[in-house]
Amino acid sequence: MYRISLFQFLVLLNDNDKHELILAVVGQLWTSIRDLYSPWILPYTQQHVNSNCAAWIQHASSDRTLLLPWIAADSGLASLMASSIMHCINFIHETIPAKQSILSHMLTFYLHGFCHTAIKPHILQVILIKE
């Protein structure tokens, strides 16, 4: 029985102009990664807090427009999470040839999640990783 890896399969499809499937795979991978890491690194808007969080979190954040994902003292641990998501994104970017790179998904994630005036410097210092 002949076995090929997912990567080999995607390369074969890419060679045969089957970019639609590759884009779907990249999109599905991005959705999984985003859903895994969002609770750990994404600031919550008041609307998100009110619809998705426990009552004690809603009460604790009622005076803020944005609930930040960590405090300055936890920046070391947050840095590990940010580094982890970047390693996942980098692996997919280098492994799967696609017209629309996973980097475009990551840019949208950054723009929607971290381009707020309420974002504190300790958040941006972790997110703007220089590796």
- Tens digit of pLDDT for each residue in 34-62? 999 998 998 887 676 677 777 777 666 66
Give the global pTM. 0.75
| Residue 110 · residue 37 · CB < 8 Å | no
Tokens encoding 113: 């999640």
Evaluate the CA torsion angle 64, 31, 90, 81 in order and state its sign: positive
Phi, psi angles (nearest 5°) of residue 27:
-60, -40
- Angstrom CA distances, 19 to 29, 33, 53, 98, stand at 15, 21, 38, 7
Q: What percent of the chain has pLDDT over 70?
A: 73
| Residue 129 · residue 79 · CB < 8 Å | yes
Give the pairing type, strands 66-67 and 44-45: antiparallel
Query: What is the pLDDT confidence band of residue 110, given thresholds at 50, 70 and 90?
Result: very high
| Residue 106 · residue 89 · CB < 8 Å | yes
